Amino acid sequence: MAEQNLDILADRVAELIIGAKKIVVFSGAGISTESGIPDFRSPGGIWSRFDPDDFTYQKFVADPEARRKQWQMIGEGHLTHLAEPNPAHYAITELYKLGRLDCVITQNVDNLHCKAGVPAEMVFELHGNLQQAICLSCGKLYPFERIKSRLDGGEEIPDCEECHGMLKPNAVLFGEPLPRDVLEEASHRSSNCDLFIVIGSTLVVYPAAYMPIYAHQAGAKLVIINLSPTPMDMEASVLITAKAGEAMSKIVDKVKEKIG
């Protein structure tokens, strides 16, 4: 995208932000890849090295080998806790600091929005959080660093230290329902905002992709920032084909100029 074109589009988004009362940001894998986290579905992504059929909830629970493969993927650091927020995450945090953010709804499981400074109670993780493991028997949560140290120490399939129940990464697997309370709150926020900003999502994974539909049907303005087309492009008030960090940094700079 030409610099001048991005500048004009960023100015339009800044005007929408200033005029909005409830802003929801919706993020997908395209924001995380700029922090070095590989996409699952793109060429060269995680599913080019691992078979997604091994990552269903049913297979994880029933098959020790499936559990071993999943812990291997996590132990190799494909969604590592060492990843740091990028300029797009920090730009969203600036919207929060400016009092312009109602919430973040994310498809990502990397915890980077919170790491960038958005309060956890304002981040709705539709697909869970890989920075934790949960015991399926007693519900005890373990931080990723604790599990990683056990994997590095030679454990292939870690279990619960309290009850020796089965541990599962606290992210939603294929065949596993999304957390009901998170999905309901995200749907409510989407249906009651007046500006919905999509960042780095192709909007093809459901039920997450219903969120911009709910917002649009309720009359909210829609902004889409993504490098590839989405099914909602025709409904967008502003469509930006650019990297998340570049676009969001420029947008927030424009907002600060206008309210400064």
Q: Phi/psi at 58 (nearest 5 deg)?
A: -65, -40
| Residue 127 is among the residues annotated as catalytic for this protein | yes
Provide the token pair at 69: 């493969």
Q: Which helix (H) or strand (E) holds 143?
A: strand 141-143
- Tally of residues, the chain: 260
Treating both helix axes as pointing N-terminal to C-terminal, what angle do 87-97 and 244-259 enclose, rounded to 10 degrees? 30
Q: Are 226 and 197 in contact (CB under 8 A)?
A: no
Strand 221-225 relative to strand 195-199, pairing: parallel
Identify the active-site residue in 81, 127, 188, 216. Answer: 127
Separation of alpha carbons 189 and 209, rounded Å: 14
Residues annotated as catalytic are: 127
